[in-house]
Structure 1
Amino acid sequence: MSHDTGLGLAAVVVLPLLVVLAVVASRLASLRHSKGIVTAALRATVQLAVVGAIVGFALQSIWGTLGFILVMMTVATITSARRIRHVAVVPGQYAHCAVAIGGGAAVVLLILILPGVVPRNPESILPMGGIIVGGAMNATTLAGRRLMAEYGNRFGEFEAGLSIGLMPPDAFRLVAGPVAGDALLPALDQTRTVGLVTLPGAFVGMVLGGASPTAAAALQLVVLIGLLAAGSLAILITTELLARSPLPDGRTVSS
């Protein structure tokens, strides 16, 4: 049996079974994500099929690559803002997420691309852009949700801070700011355990493609440190923008 045939069998049989397993686990644990799991799996299938066709065009020029990264940032912004709005509706949330994700990702990508750490060609820039944008999106989403939930849970302390003369941004940072760091835990754990618990995709892909383990490890290190930097910047920007926003009544915030 060829490799392609085996992959086709997995797509037809194994992947639906994994979706069913995830749904059953979600229901047993009352996670309320059963529908979301199915929807995400279906969307991923369709989106990857479409993206597979579009990427070929994006890789034909640097402008096509940059345009595709901009699309990534747009989708990431919408996704992150919607997730945060499930906890609390903050004016300008979409703009906040765009700045946090775009700012964090852009700074890191420029630092990697301009000196040539990542080769300045579409084949290298596009996948690196997708990885870094995705990391910034995850950090923004987790930070935004965690910050607003903590603000709601400790709204009494926020009001107490205002009563003793603190400005709203300072009171927000005091009661909610310390939890923003939780959003960096996934990236930190991934970096700390790389090679011991996980063998990330960039490393495995390069080794399977014939690169030396040393070269693969160097690239993976760039990816992991880049994700930490982009995530940290995104969390910082998210915290500062929320602190300076007209915040909703904390009693209306979902925990």
Structure 2
Amino acid sequence: MNSTVQVITWQGLALAFVPTLIVLAIMWRWTAGVGTGIYATFRMLAQLLLIGYVLVYIFETGRPSVVLAVLGFMLVVSSWISIRPLQGKSRRLYRNAFLSISLSGVLTLALVSQSVIGIEPWFNPRYLIPLAGMIFAGAMTTVSLAGERAYAEASRGVSYTEARRIAMQAALIPMVNSLLAVGLVSLPGMMTGQILSGVSPVVAAKYQIVVMSMLFGVTGMSAAMFLYLEKTELRKKAKSPQ
């Protein structure tokens, strides 16, 4: 297949914001928080352009210490963001979120990068960093959903076992929906990107199967671990509902 990547010009990039401008205009007309939309759009633009240049530097360094430092930074930030929806943020919550995301995420990343794909060298940032980003982000979101739902149920006086069951089911809804819809309703970003870059659709499908499997695994493990680590606090909450 043709492996030539169609380069997006700066003019083309600007045109991509036409739908965004339409939505911002609607938000302004309906007084639906257009300021937040504008801020989020500019922040997204700045972050992605910045990370593009940062990744160029990381890819060219060839130093495992730099790659490991980036992975550590990603874990610290994702753990902090994961507890954002929870009330009464504490060191305990952050520690448990960090342990849940780190243990499940690093285990999954090591399995996929070293055994499934077999990247060379082992720290190849072109593979390791994108894979880590998907894994840590998936775990982060699921820990947030599981924690928020578990504490909401516990505050109603629901037992720990029942709150855990409800929270686990709720946290995995987005992932299960993705598994059901992939290939029928949507072509995920990684598969679409590979096809656009000229990779065979069959090869792209294999990579996407790996991605979906690793995401289902890491999201389930991270949520289960977080709920287990928060068991004592959830039981206390259930005994004194507010």
Report the TM range for the smaller structure's normalisation: 0.7 to 0.9
Residues in 1 aligned to 2:216 and 2:29: alpha-carbon distance in whole angstroms: 33
Given the alignment, which residue of 174, 179, 199 partners 1:186? 174
Residues in 2 aligned to 1:3 and 1:55: alpha-carbon distance in whole angstroms: 18
Counterpart code for 1:67: A
Q: How does 1:182-221 map to 2 (within 5 A)?
A: 182-221=170-209
Residues in 1 aligned to 2:14 and 2:54: alpha-carbon distance in whole angstroms: 22
RMSD over aligned Cα atoms: 2.5
Residues in 1 aligned to 2:31 and 2:141: alpha-carbon distance in whole angstroms: 21
Q: How many residues align?
A: 226
Counterpart code for 2:232: R
Given the alignment, which residue of 12, 16, 21 partners 1:16? 21
Q: How does 1:238-249 map to 2 (within 5 A)?
A: 238-245=226-233, 247-248=236-237, 249=240
Q: In structure 2, what is the equivalent of residue 222 of structure 1? A: 210
Given the alignment, which residue of 6, 16, 21 partners 2:12? 6
Any idea what SS the aligned residue of 2:86 has? helix
Structure 1 pair 90/117, CA: closer, same or farther in 2 (3 Å)?
A: same
Counterpart code for 1:83: P
Which ranges in structure 2 are unaligned for 5 or more consecutive residues? Answer: 1-6
Q: Does the CA contact (< 8 Å) of 1:73 and 1:102 recur in 2?
A: yes
Residues in 1 aligned to 2:28 and 2:99: alpha-carbon distance in whole angstroms: 34
Question: 1:89: how far off?
Answer: 4.4
Q: In structure 2, what is the equivalent of residue 152 of structure 1? A: 155
Structure 1 pair 7/126, CA: closer, same or farther in 2 (3 Å)?
A: same
Q: In structure 2, what is the equivalent of residue 175 of structure 1? A: 162
Question: 1:48: how far off?
Answer: 1.6
Question: 1:22: how far off?
Answer: 6.3
Question: 1:23: how far off?
Answer: 7.5
Q: In structure 2, what is the equivalent of residue 139 of structure 1? A: 142
Q: TM-score, normalised by structure 1?
A: 0.79
Question: 1:84: how far off?
Answer: 1.9
Q: How does 1:74-153 map to 2 (within 5 A)?
A: 74-85=76-87, 88-89=88-89, 92-117=92-117, 119=119, 120=122, 121-153=124-156
Residues in 2 aligned to 1:26 and 1:182: alpha-carbon distance in whole angstroms: 32
Residues in 2 aligned to 1:25 and 1:205: alpha-carbon distance in whole angstroms: 35
